[in-house]
């Protein structure tokens, strides 16, 4: 069956536009409770980021879950990976996250974790959607679910994050700028890095409900780059609004993105003899990472774009590490989902172990230039059926040879075809990407 509401990462949209409305979220809570609340002791945790609409949707979910007979624990503002962790540790039946991740404040969404702290399988999402088709009812008064608020959620998660690196590592004397994007890490990440000894300079730590991801954070790190330079800091760390992405900045103000961070962590695990299986990337992972890992004797496998697909391959190959260039990095030997704080700590641990700077560590991987062109289309189409597109793609692949890649990918959220060309020469890559985009545009007119 095709899902009606769930996308690759829950249900997301503009607040006030269906289905991101209080009445729908009320019924979504009820439907979720119906699926998970098979007994009176069922417990579901709810956390959120710092968007102003989070209060409204938290209340709606709580009411819907109570009406279904499910008990809830309210975590308040909490990073998405923190909610996954607390779902596991509290032995909850499920975890619910109210967040639109890196989107602006006027968007919001609902996503879910299973009791194991991983994204829900398709069959559970379909079961929730089937319940949404039913008329909403309320259990008897004696069976209505209770709601409690967990006041020490942040402290529990801070301690977990610190536990993912050896306690003997002391970062005294290291100056770090931490940008929390005015999001859900604002009251957690600075304390984590402070408590391992670093001198922490905070930015993006004053959420007001409307400034999440606004000109800051992992999706807009220019302010972090400037602050690292002005503070003469050793490095900078930026998270997105819900804390599952991380981007870093070295002492020269240069970005160190997800693929480079993945390389540093992979090499660290390999040197320690603790790297299991292949490293999992995606279709968008830079060819430079694949070649750098190959030089180390490490295989890389590519998943479809999206952290849930990365996790599927991690599980399939029993791998310890995977991620995306956006900064979603899953350290499967430490936690069950993409976790920006945990990933950053693994990089800091390698800096401590090698006594090398972030700038030096990233040199093992050389990124290939990428050019990405978006082509607007009227409706989805099977590109393999267009001979002109396939011929153009094959010819560009011939020109690039082993030192380049071509990717044609429909957007999962917009009426677009994403045309990506990667190679050693930026000028050539741009030219070839535009050529292929023109062929796609002519074959699939608006």
pLDDT tens per residue across span 207-231: 999 999 999 999 999 999 999 999 9
Structure tokens at 73: 């624990």
On the 0-12 / 13-18 / 19+ scale of CB atoms within 10 A, 379 is exposed
Residue 40's pLDDT band (cuts 50, 70, 90): low
User: Which of the four pLDDT bands, split at 50, 70 and 90, describes residue 305?
Assistant: confident
Distance CA 132, CA 126 (A): 10
Q: What is the pLDDT of residue 38?
A: 64
Q: Are 233 and 254 in contact (CB under 8 A)?
A: no
Q: What is the SS3 assignment for 69?
A: coil
Taking every pair of C-alpha atoms in the chain, what is the biggest distance, in angstroms? 71
If we measure between CA atoms, which residue out of 341, 411, 403 comes closest to residue 372? 411
Whole-model pTM: value is 0.94
Supply 370's token pair: 């990428």
Whether the ω angle into residue 19 lies within 30 degrees of 0, i.e. cis, is yes
> For 188-206, how does the pLDDT look when each residue is reduced to its tens digit (9 = 90+)?
999 999 999 999 999 999 9
The whole-number average pLDDT for the span 317-330 is 97
Confidence of residue 32 (pLDDT cuts 50, 70, 90): very high
Average pLDDT, the chain: 95
- HSE-CB for 315 with a 13 A CA cutoff: 12
What local confidence, expressed as pLDDT, does residue 9 receive? 85
Mean pLDDT value of segment 265-290: 97
What b/e string do you get for 238-268 counting C-beta neighbours within 10 Å, with b at 16 or more?
bbbbbbbbbbbbbbebebbbbbbbbbbbbbb
Q: How far is CA 87 from the centre of its chain?
A: 18
pLDDT in tens, 98-136: 999 999 999 999 999 999 999 998 999 999 999 999 999
332-353 confidence digits (pLDDT tens): 999 999 999 999 999 999 999 9
Tokens standing for 196?
Answer: 């391992």
Catalytic residue among 53, 66, 68, 101: 101
If you write DSSP's letter for every residue of 410-434 in order, what string do you get? Answer: E-SSSSEEEEEEE-S-HHHHHHHHH
Domains of the chain: residue spans and CATH: 11-151 (3.40.120.10), 157-364 (3.40.120.10), 370-443 (3.30.310.50)
Respond yes or no: is residue 101 known to be catalytic: yes
């Amino acid at each position: 069956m095709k899902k009606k509401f769930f996308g690759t990462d829950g249900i997301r949209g503009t607040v006030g536009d269906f289905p991101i409305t209080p009445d729908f979220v009320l019924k979504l809570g009820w439907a979720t409770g119906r699926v998970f609340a098979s007994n009176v002791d069922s417990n579901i945790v709810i956390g959120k980021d710092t968007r102003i609409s989070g209060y409204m949707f938290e209340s709606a979910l709580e009411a819907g879950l109570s009406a279904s007979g499910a008990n809830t624990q309210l975590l308040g503002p909490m990073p998405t990976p923190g909610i996954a962790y607390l779902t596991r540790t509290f032995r909850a039946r499920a975890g619910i996250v109210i967040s639109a991740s890196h989107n602006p404040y006027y968007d919001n969404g609902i996503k879910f974790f299973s009791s194991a702290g991983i994204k829900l399988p398709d069959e559970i999402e379909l079961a929730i959607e089937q319940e949404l088709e039913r008329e909403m009812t309320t259990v008897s008064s004696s069976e209505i679910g209770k709601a409690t608020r967990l006041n020490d959620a942040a402290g529990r998660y801070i301690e977990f994050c610190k536990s993912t690196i050896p306690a003997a590592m002391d970062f005294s004397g290291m100056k770090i700028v931490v940008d929390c994007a005015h999001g859900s890490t604002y009251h957690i990440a600075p304390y984590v890095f402070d408590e391992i000894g670093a001198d922490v300079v905070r930015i993006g730590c004053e959420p007001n409900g409307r400034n999440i991801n606004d000109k800051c954070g992992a999706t807009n790190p220019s302010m972090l780059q400037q602050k690292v330079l002005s503070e003469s800091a050793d490095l900078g760390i930026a998270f997105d609004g819900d804390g599952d992405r991380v981007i870093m900045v070295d002492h020269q103000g240069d970005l160190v993105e997800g693929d480079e961070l993945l390389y540093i962590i992979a090499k660290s695990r390999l040197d320690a003899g603790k790297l299991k299986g292949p490293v999992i990337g995606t279709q968008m992972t830079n060819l430079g990472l694949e070649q750098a890992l190959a030089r180390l004797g490490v295989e890389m496998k590519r998943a479809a774009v999206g952290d849930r697909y990365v996790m599927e391959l991690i599980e399939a190959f029993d791998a310890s590490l995977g991620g995306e260039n956006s900064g979603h990095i899953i350290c499967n030997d430490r936690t069950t989902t993409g976790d920006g704080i945990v990933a950053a700590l693994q990089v800091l641990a390698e800096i401590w172990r090698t006594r090398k700077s972030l700038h030096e560590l990233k040199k093992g991987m050389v990124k290939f230039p990428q050019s990405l062109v978006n082509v607007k289309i009227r409706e989805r189409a099977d590109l393999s059926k267009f001979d002109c597109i396939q011929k153009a793609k094959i010819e560009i692949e011939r020109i690039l040879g082993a030192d380049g890649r071509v990717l044609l990918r429909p957007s999962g959220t917009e009426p677009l075809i994403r045309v990506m060309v990667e190679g050693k020469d930026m000028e050539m890559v741009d030219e070839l990407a535009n050529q292929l985009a023109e062929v796609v545009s002519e074959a699939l007119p608006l």
